[in-house]
Copies of this chain bind each other. A is one copy, B any other.
């Protein structure tokens, strides 16, 4: 694997994985009042489009990163809808 690939993979891991602490925080505190619903609705729509884009251009890394991201963004959305 090249340094460039490693850079891209680290970037993808961080921008996808960054939602994990938000999921845990919301789950633990049962509070999401300061979290923007509009942000996560836009993010869910955007990640869905990235996923379709990845399927169209047949790029497995794009598909994998966005498949993982959509699970996390839906988790934040579910907690936001649950806790308000």
Interface of A toward B, CB cutoff 8 Å: 4, 7-8, 10-15, 17-22, 24-26, 29, 31-36, 38-40, 42-43, 45-47, 49-50, 52-53, 56-57
Contacts and interface: CB of A to CB of B under 8 A. Distances in A.
Contacts of A46: 10-15, 18
**Copies of the protein in its oligomer:** 2
A39 B15 contact: no
Contact of A15 (B22, B47, B57): B47
Contacts of A17: 42
A21 B42 contact: yes
Nearest to A38: B21
Given A7-B56, A18-B38, 8 more contacts: A8-B49, A8-B50, A14-B42, A14-B46, A15-B47, A18-B40, A18-B46, A22-B39
